[in-house]
Amino acid sequence: MSKKNIARPDGLAYSTNKDFFNDFPQEEPGETLPKDKQKLRVKLDTKQRAGKVVTLVDCFIGTLEDMEALAKQLKTKCGAGGSVKDGYIIIQGDYKDKVITWLKDWGYVLTK
């Protein structure tokens, strides 16, 4: 069974047409909500990570640049690596309690 290209809704992967262009609308980045309106969720996860624990921060509403800036602050505070993928801030290691404390100190609202 073949896998469809999920980048395009019509499944087109390649075109030899020289006049071809991407006519699908791009998502516009939304505005970042203020810290007191954000309802972040922090959890630990080991799925698809060979048993290694990571701390996930979910439900951030805003631009990718602001999410990456928050991730950089958290990674610096934890002294660990990490990334931003699929709407999650991923911090390598078990830093759940520390991340929750820092987010609360910075004015973010956390949910369970």
Per-residue pLDDT for the chain (112 aa), expressed as one digit of tens each? 445 445 666 666 666 776 666 665 656 557 888 999 999 999 999 988 888 999 999 999 999 999 999 999 999 999 999 999 988 999 999 999 999 999 999 999 998 7
CATH topology of domain 39-110: Translation Initiation Factor Eif1 (3.30.780)
Distance CA 102, CA 99 (A): 5
107: Cβ contacts below 8 Å, ≥ 6 apart: 35, 36
What's the predicted TM-score (pTM) here?
A: 0.73
Parse the chain into domains and list their residue ranges.
39-110
